[in-house]
């Protein structure tokens, strides 16, 4: 299994707005080969810190997703987000190989 976390820090007053965006996400990834799950996590101590947590069957499945046209479509939508403050937020991406369960 392969796990990818994308951590973003948004203005605290916009955290609920961002959560709403993810609650209405396109779900294009959900049917992608090797995709297992998606969760949006909110840090209890720092509510402005949100983590997109995705699980994949393999690293190669994840790499296939990030080089796909569907991935580009999803992320092109973000570039056109009307709130430029949110559009400029860059995630910190962490990638993990599961080595024990």
- DSSP 3-state percent helix, strand, coil across the chain (nearest 5): 40, 30, 30
Residuewise pLDDT in 10s, the chain (101 residues): 999 999 999 999 989 988 988 898 888 899 999 999 999 999 999 999 999 999 999 999 999 999 999 888 877 666 556 566 666 678 899 999 999 99
Structure tokens at 86: 């949110």
CA pair distance 91, 79, nearest whole angstrom: 14
| pLDDT computed for residue 84 by the predictor | 62
The residues that bridge with 95 in the sheet, in sequence order, are: 4
Total-model pTM: 0.86
Enumerate the domain spans of the chain: 2-97
Q: How far apart are the two ends of the chain, measured CA to CA in Å?
A: 10
Three-state DSSP class for 36?
strand
User: CATH for 2-97?
Assistant: 3.30.70.100
């Amino acid at each position: 299994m392969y796990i990818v976390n994308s951590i973003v820090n948004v203005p605290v007053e916009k955290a609920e707005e961002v959560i709403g965006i993810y609650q209405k996400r396109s779900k294009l990834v959900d049917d992608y080969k090797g995709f297992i799950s998606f969760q949006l996590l909110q840090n209890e101590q720092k509510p402005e810190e949100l983590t997109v947590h995705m699980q994949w069957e393999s690293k190669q499945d994840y790499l296939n997703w990030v080089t796909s046209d569907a991935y580009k479509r999803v992320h092109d939508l973000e570039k056109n987000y009307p709130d430029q403050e949110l559009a400029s937020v860059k995630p910190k991406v962490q990638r993990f190989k599961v080595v024990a369960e």
